[in-house]
């Protein structure tokens, strides 16, 4: 069986090598696209325009490649640092047929797991709409290339920035390899986070403006909130083993325990904007500190081995951040335990 499987892969590789040709990584990218700069706050971003270019998503490695003919364009491509000859695109080529669209698109795609990860969607995908705002406004009919367009928060958040009645959304759920007449996109961030105070402030204010049009802000005035993760997938997500004990203690201290999946994207923005103190286990829900007022107190329950993204985000947004280190409970379930004594010291 293994022999047949390897034979199949070899034949498939050969067929698509003839169709797509082998790909070349080149630093001489300036010949293949137009480029201009835009400054937001203290940071500059590049805006690229690619003609007759292709975009390919390698889902196995989480990389996105912008390609002109058979040249991989380094600057526009996403998460290609550390690309080697053993990487899939060189080892196997692209074993997909290219779907050709005779249209111009604006791309806000991002690498890693932005297609279904709330943090990366909010902090990496949505800021691209701000950077590309002038380009978007030029379009009478907008073709927008997005990582995904299925989840409620994706649809609701995009509606804050664009008119969906004049927008055609194109994502990678059906085609992994596509060509367009023209692709406009912005330069990439560092570490999949646009940690630029001015940029995120524009994003925050735009979302809050839309939220206040739809909901009464006074309805969501919870001053002290604890983000419950009882709705998280126990097999794959981080969880607090003694969650009930911590919740009961915090309720006695005047906290509202909130399951954020019970609220829409815009409602969550209002909740966090009204909060004075936020406590939560490291996870997607803490992304919403983006919408907090400056100097809001944020306490993250975490481990030293987990990413420091919310500490960095808090610093960028001028929030008052502290962390509580939990104790690891299980490597299999990603469970942690938080001794109640540790949280008492901070309250």
The pLDDT tens digits for 65-93 are: 999 988 999 889 998 888 888 888 888 88
In this predicted model, what pLDDT tens digit does every residue of 166-182 receive, in sequence order?
999 999 888 999 999 99
> Rounded mean pLDDT of the chain?
90
Distance (Å, whole) CA 277 – CA 72: 46
In this predicted model, what pLDDT tens digit does every residue of 19-38 receive, in sequence order?
777 888 876 666 788 889 99
Distance (Å, whole) CA 155 – CA 136: 17
Region 198-218 average pLDDT: 96
User: Does 321 have pLDDT greater than 70?
Assistant: yes
Region 128-149 average pLDDT: 95
pLDDT reported for residue 330: 73
Percent of the chain with pLDDT over 70: 92
Distance (Å, whole) CA 187 – CA 128: 9
User: Does 251 have pLDDT greater than 70?
Assistant: yes
Contact present, 50 and 33 (Cβ < 8 Å): yes
Phi–psi pair at 44, nearest 5 degrees: -105, 145
User: Does 149 have pLDDT greater than 80?
Assistant: yes
Per-domain residue ranges for the chain? 2-194, 215-346
pLDDT reported for residue 28: 66
* C-alpha atoms less than 13 angstroms from C-alpha of 335 in its C-beta half-sphere: 11
The sign of the CA dihedral 128, 134, 139, 140 is positive
In CATH, the architecture of 215-346 is 3-Layer(aba) Sandwich (3.40)
Look-up: residue for tokens 């097999």? 235
User: Does 264 have pLDDT greater than 70?
Assistant: yes
The pair of structure tokens assigned to 144 is 């927008």
pLDDT reported for residue 165: 85
User: Does 218 have pLDDT greater than 60?
Assistant: yes
Q: Which residue did the predictor score with more confidence, 217 or 143?
A: 143
Alpha helices in 75-132 (DSSP H): 88-91, 118-120, 126-131
Across 167-176, 235-244, 273-282, which has the greatest mean pLDDT? Answer: 273-282
pLDDT reported for residue 233: 58
Contact present, 194 and 123 (Cβ < 8 Å): yes
């Amino acid at each position: 069986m293994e022999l047949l499987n390897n034979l199949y892969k070899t034949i498939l590789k050969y067929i698509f090598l003839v169709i797509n040709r082998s790909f070349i990584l080149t630093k001489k990218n300036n010949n293949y696209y137009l480029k201009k700069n835009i400054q937001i706050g203290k940071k500059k971003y590049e805006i690229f325009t690619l003609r007759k270019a292709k975009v390919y998503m390698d889902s196995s490695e989480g990389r996105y490649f912008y390609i002109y003919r058979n040249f991989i364009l380094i600057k526009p491509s996403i998460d290609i640092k550390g690309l080697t000859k053993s990487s899939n695109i060189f080892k196997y080529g692209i074993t997909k047929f290219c779907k050709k669209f005779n249209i111009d698109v604006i791309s806000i795609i991002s690498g890693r797991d932005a297609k279904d990860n709330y943090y990366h969607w909010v902090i990496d995908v949505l800021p691209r709409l701000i950077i590309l705002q002038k380009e978007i406004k030029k379009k009478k009919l907008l073709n927008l290339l997005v990582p995904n367009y299925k989840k409620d928060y994706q649809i609701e958040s995009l509606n804050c920035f664009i008119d969906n009645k004049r927008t055609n959304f194109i994502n990678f759920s059906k085609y992994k390899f596509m060509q367009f007449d023209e692709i406009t996109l912005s330069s990439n961030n560092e570490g999949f986070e646009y940690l630029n105070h001015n940029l995120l402030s524009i994003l925050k204010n735009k979302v809050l403006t839309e939220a206040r049009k739809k909901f009464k802000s006074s309805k969501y005035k919870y001053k002290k909130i604890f983000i419950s993760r009882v709705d998280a997938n126990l097999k794959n997500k981080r969880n607090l083993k003694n969650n009930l004990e911590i919740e009961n203690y915090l309720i006695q201290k005047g906290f509202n325990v909130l399951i954020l999946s019970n609220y829409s994207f815009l409602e969550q923005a209002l909740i966090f904007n009204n909060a004075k103190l936020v406590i939560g286990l490291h996870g997607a829900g803490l992304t919403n500190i983006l919408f907090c007022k400056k100097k809001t107190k944020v306490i993250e329950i975490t481990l030293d081995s987990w990413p420091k993204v919310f500490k960095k985000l808090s610093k960028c947004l001028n929030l008052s951040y502290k962390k509580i280190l939990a104790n690891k409970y299980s490597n299999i379930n990603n469970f942690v335990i938080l001794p109640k004594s540790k949280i008492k010291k901070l309250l």
